[in-house]
Amino acid sequence: MTRVVRSLHIDTERTWRGGEQQALYLAAGLVRRGHVAEVAGNPDSEYLRRARAASLTAHDVPMRTDFDPAAFRRLRRLLKDGRFDIVHGHTSRGHVMAGTAALWLRSCKVVVTRRVDFSIRRPPLHPGRLKYRHGIDRFIAISGAVRDVLIDGGVKPHRIAVVPSGVDLARLATADAQAVRAEFGVRDGAPLVGAVAHFAWHKGLEYLVDAVPHVLEQHPDARFFLVGDGELAGALKERAARVAPPGTVLFPGFRLDAPSFLQAFDVVATPSVMEALNTTNLDAMALGRPVVATNVGGIPEVITDEETGLLVPPRDAKLLGGAISRLLGNCALAARLGAAARRLVRERFTCDAMVEGTLAVYREVLGEP
């Protein structure tokens, strides 16, 4: 793209998850390429705090509901005063905010990234149908699976582009596996299995907890880490206390040094029951770690069974445990899968690839060659 593109990136979440990280990767990548990219979010959100820490221009916009007139007016003024070419919504509420704020601003195109594979089917008169049929110039799906969900919900295929999430290789370079073992007193040589995720129902983490006894049958000195936090944290801890010996399953909480945990794990486990793509898998693979994941959503678009990881059916703790045990007991297989995964992600799923793919979408909606 030859001219400078001005884009405003709306994320309405107050907490920090993979989607917020990707939105900031994109904004920072655009700025590095000489474009203008600013962000808008809820005051005191982690999104805005980290945007400012990265020297991005960040705007406080309280967005309390999907239909917040004050927020619409504030965003509309931002779009006009900033002469933005693109307003990009990165969350469900950001989708509504972007589309509504840009109404009748002919020079500003609306792009929405869809990062989940939940169904968007709605009854014919449901107001939620409107936001997928009107006011959006292009949807960006982070996987083919998300694209299929959008089409199933009534979005025309020509309105959708697929741009996968990307990995920040520089961030991963700071990973320190030894620091994790030292902090938690895990001896060298003890097998480590772990997941890094938001503790939500669709992540299927209870199946990883239930897989622990199956793994311990063959690898009694294995230790398991569930890194993250969320609404199911209490239930998962109670479940772990019931099925596993004390000290076997550890819960470090939300960690800024998540890459160090991934580097420390001998096997990374992703037991999701629904998953649009999964950036934790991408990070782990870029680090050369072998991954066992469920064959749901967009995961098989990255992990090919027996080539770049192992795939198992969802909701099956025994098969999940068997695949984990297989990798712990076969170092050659684990190394082969990890090396192939590393090559794949570093060739196809980097932040640079994500930014360039998004720029191509901007070019198309702006009618530029």
Overall number of domains in the chain: 2
pTM of the model: 0.92
Nearest CA to 267 among 322, 317, 195? Answer: 195
227 and 152 in one domain?
no
pLDDT tens profile 240-284: 999 999 999 999 999 989 999 999 999 999 999 999 999 999 999
Kindly state the average pLDDT of the residues 58-67: 93
Residue 215 placed within a domain? yes
Q: Is pLDDT of 1 > 70?
A: no
As a whole number of Å, the end-to-end CA separation of the chain is 8
pLDDT tens profile 72-106: 999 999 999 999 999 999 999 999 999 999 988 88
Cβ-contact 277, 302 below 8 angstroms: yes
35 and 82 in one domain?
yes
> 290-300: string of b/e by CB count within 10 Å (b at 16+)?
bbbbbebbbbb
Q: Is pLDDT of 129 > 80?
A: no
344 and 201 in one domain?
yes
Kindly state the average pLDDT of the residues 340-356: 97
Per mean pLDDT, which range of 92-106, 301-315, 328-342, 354-368 is the poorest? 92-106
CATH code assigned at 76:
3.40.50.2000
Residue 271 placed within a domain? yes
Residue 340 placed within a domain? yes
3-state secondary structure of 316: coil
184 and 149 in one domain?
no
Partnered with residue 291 across adjacent β-strands are 268
Cβ neighbors of 158 (< 8 A, separation 6 or more) are none
Mean pLDDT of the chain: 95
Neighbour-count burial of 50, counting CB atoms closer than 10 A to its CB (0-12 exposed, 13-18 middle, 19+ buried) = middle
Residue 1 placed within a domain? no
Instruction: Compute the C-alpha angle 148/362/352, nearest 5°.
Output: 85
Residue 297 placed within a domain? yes
HSE-CB at 35 with a 13 A cutoff on CA atoms is 24
Structure tokens at 59: 């705007």
188 and 151 in one domain?
no
355 and 248 in one domain?
no
Residues in the chain, total = 369
Residue 246 placed within a domain? yes
337 and 190 in one domain?
yes
343 and 356 in one domain?
no
132 and 249 in one domain?
no
Backbone φ and ψ for 249, nearest 5 degrees, come out as: -110, 120
129 and 13 in one domain?
yes
Domain that holds residue 199: 170-348
186 and 335 in one domain?
yes
226 and 309 in one domain?
yes
d(CA 130, CA 152): 15
Give residue 179's identity as a one-letter amino acid code. Answer: A
